[in-house]
Structure 1
């Protein structure tokens, strides 16, 4: 009889322990989802291109979205990345990648047509909406990248990679600025950022 009573108490104890653990895990998962951001991007970025010749263009919007997708987990605790429709209202706490732009210049030796170098630099614009609904523009800029080859000529094999690299750099600078804002809650910062 004593053995059966002890056995029943152990079973009850184990059952209570398992139920409380499941509830704790569910609560912490719910808290994690509440403490994660839904990152947005302007819908027209999907089709944003840079014309580099009479019939050639580069999808710089796609480069920006790939950069955002790969870089954001290092800075932000993100649950999703989705397009922001043109008529969709901005909710408090939203972070939106709105624009990407690549500036390129060709330099020739003075008074000649002899090519000297080309430079690329990228700028991205984020819109951050504070918990109180105030909007703030954040710009991310890349350093200038120099090339000694005429961009997109028959000898050029690097320009696309250099543009993608400069956009990645601009996106990362923008994300760093966002997480360093005074009103940006630390609960939305990625754990990866603190581990680096």
Structure 2
């Protein structure tokens, strides 16, 4: 199965703000530019899945019509990580000790008391397992950079704790509006933690 992953356009939030699971919108002109760029380059008549957060869902709902998606589904398992009390705070205002604690234990530490990367990996892997069972040839998924990094890491077939660490520790930036294509040749049975 081919996964065509699209990162949402740049949200209308100041640079340097932590906004994981917060529902921040995209300015209309940014959304229109992303739509124009993507609708000519993405295949038509495929199932489309999206994070329900508006920065993804707004783009997905317009593209679903443009591309005549065969199915259009919001799935909360595609959401970005919940950073708890760090949400909508400037990164430089978060205590250095808290950020260091997260860096020391990337997979298990719960930033701001929110979700840890392992929990996010578990829900993203469950989404992928369900998707693979549906046996589509290809799908389009509108989601977040963290979700894309986890889906990419899941290709290695590692236990989830190692997958979470791989996704969190890699220095790979995914641009807003970028398209990343992954190919899963076989069904994944998510390894035990």
TM-score (normalised: structure 2): 0.33
More strand by share: 1
TM-score (normalised: structure 1): 0.32
